[in-house]
Chain A
């Protein structure tokens, strides 16, 4: 490939969520065209977006359609633009110290005066929440984001005592290697135990997993057992395993006063060597790292709005001379 050329291009249909485009060769500029708004968008809608190396994260230039003659007007995007991502870099965003409370609802609600760019499905790492120290340092997938008001710890169990002030980090990048260990928030007492993980797990049926359940969690009989995943639920972020936990002590997420403790975890072991799974390689350790560009979603952002058809081009400069 000669430098200075367009290295990749493509098209996708927007689902109104940020879009990650992998560009292993790295990229010095990127141009995005919204086919849908170009054809039919009203005044002020973004039709073309540009990013060049040197621009700050989540920024870019937006060309908006004008009402009168459909000519275009460029504006700079202070946010909602392009973010270059390298998964081998620091995975965390900036600390957010605006947490004012974590509720005792069945699904804990975190109140925060700023939710920044958080969206449903993002991951946060809670830090030093007064009266809820047990969630500190643990990653959670979040849901029900109400901008600058609250979000839920979607798969966390109910807290006995409400938390008050604290902080969180957005976890922008997962560890590169799959399958990853996951923290456990709940295990049922059942003929086939159902295990809830705090972060979207990514496991599949047939994978063999081991449980690490310290005494602080109660269900010590589960500690060090291995089981085969027989079912998963993406809606509840659970896995069902072939372990009969019906006679085990109840699982209870430790309370604030239990800190410090070791979190309960589910560890990837391998693939059950039994009929039905013999040709599955879902447990294979794999480096899923990438270099790419995250396009923010929205009417005035490069990933567009629901059903928008987006065309993109990415390129490399022969040299970049940003003074």
Chain B
């Protein structure tokens, strides 16, 4: 008895399209979290000037009873400048793509552009910190490199330095609670670093993973845990200076940040904008192509170099 199978009678269309598009990897964008948001006015040039007055000396000696005026102090200040740059990118899309493709190409490209925009902002901030912030090398480790892997001694040193510099912590403490396996968490500075350091963080003395916080719901999604007065946010685009150790290993930059340490300055009337030009505008005489893109103007700037320290480490 002859049986009709798919070999003799194949389906006329061999494939189905899954309209549920697959997830796209999107890195955690951690570098703007501790940043102050500032804007410079339109029609005000391209550079924002900020000013910080220097501290005055204390007056520890009694005035006495002579009625003679003591010497006056002179007020001084530092100007901190930031020059805005403009950024943008776009995709040119032939009309036949949207005509023939089953999935909503333009929608998906728009989403990807959104991620590109925010990731650009994040990486600009990251690269500014790596280029201009002062750093402390981890030296307490045993991997034989300079810097070494991170240790508790190194964490204590960077915290001590921030405290000595009168940097305010950014995050409040979490009180201890009567929950199994948890521990109280100190008020803390942010520490921003690469996901590649998670193993070394786990191995550092005094590390508390966020699932051991008394109230883990108060941890940020990107948070890995805390050591002393540092709470670590990790990202796959965390800062790495390639082959920069004594032995030629990659150096991981851990930006330890107090309050108001740096700012991201936007240009008024030029904040991030989405630009779509349909084929009849962007596509030439035959309206062949559309374009979709973004542009923005921004500059990140350290506003107090004492309150952000790059703790550099290699991996063990």
Task: Say yes or no: A269-B299 contact (C-beta < 8 A), given A176-B131, A179-B132, A180-B132.
Answer: no
Q: How far is the CB of A140 from chain B (nearest CB, A)?
A: 13
Choose one: B49, B128, B137; the contact of A260 (CB below 8 Å).
Answer: B137
The residue of chain A having its C-beta at the shortest distance from the C-beta of B85 within the complex is: A287
CB distance B245 to A136 under 8 Å? yes
Instruction: Scan B180-199; emit 1 where CB is below 8 A from any A CB, else 0.
Output: 00000000000000000000
Complex alpha-carbon distance, A278 and B77, angstroms: 11
Complex alpha-carbon distance, A56 and B216, angstroms: 52
Q: How far is the CB of A222 from chain B (nearest CB, A)?
A: 14
Complex alpha-carbon distance, A210 and B132, angstroms: 12
Complex alpha-carbon distance, A250 and B305, angstroms: 26
Which of B62-70, B141-149, B217-225, B267-275 is near enough to bind chain A?
B141-149
Count class of interface residues, chain A: 35 or more
Instruction: Scan B216-255; emit 1 where CB is below 8 A from any A CB, else 0.
Output: 0000000000000000000000000011111110010000
CB distance B78 to A128 under 8 Å? no
CB distance A269 to B78 under 8 Å? yes
Q: Is B287 an interface residue (CB 8 A)?
A: no
A42 surroundings in chain B (CB, below 8 A) = none
CB distance B135 to A91 under 8 Å? no
Instruction: Scan A77-107; emit 1 where CB is below 8 A from any B CB, else 0.
Output: 0000000000010111001000000000000
Choose one: A267, A274, A285; the contact of B134 (CB below 8 Å).
Answer: A267
Complex alpha-carbon distance, A128 and B246, angstroms: 5
The residue of chain B having its C-beta at the shortest distance from the C-beta of A174 within the complex is: B131
The residue of chain B having its C-beta at the shortest distance from the C-beta of A212 within the complex is: B134
Choose one: B52, B127, B139, B245; the contact of A177 (CB below 8 Å).
Answer: B127
Q: Is A270 an interface residue (CB 8 A)?
A: yes
Interface size on B, residues (CB 8 A): 46
Choose one: B77, B128, B245, B284; the contact of A285 (CB below 8 Å).
Answer: B128
Choose one: A2, A273, A285; the contact of B78 (CB below 8 Å).
Answer: A273
Q: Is B108 an interface residue (CB 8 A)?
A: no
Q: How far is the CB of B308 from chain A (nearest CB, A)?
A: 10
A269 surroundings in chain B (CB, below 8 A) = 78, 80, 305
Choose one: B78, B124, B146, B299; the contact of A259 (CB below 8 Å).
Answer: B146
B244 surroundings in chain A (CB, below 8 A) = 125, 137
CB distance B145 to A95 under 8 Å? no
Q: Which of B131-186 contact A (CB under 8 A)?
A: 131-139, 145-148, 165
A137 surroundings in chain B (CB, below 8 A) = 146, 244-246, 251
Top 9 nearest A-B pairs by Cβ distance?
Answer: A136-B246, A175-B131, A260-B146, A284-B81, A273-B77, A270-B80, A177-B131, A270-B78, A127-B248
Known contacts A133-B146, A259-B146, A268-B305; 13 additional CB pairs below 8 A are A91-B242, A137-B246, A176-B131, A179-B132, A180-B132, A261-B137, A262-B135, A263-B137, A272-B79, A273-B79, A283-B81, A285-B300, A287-B85
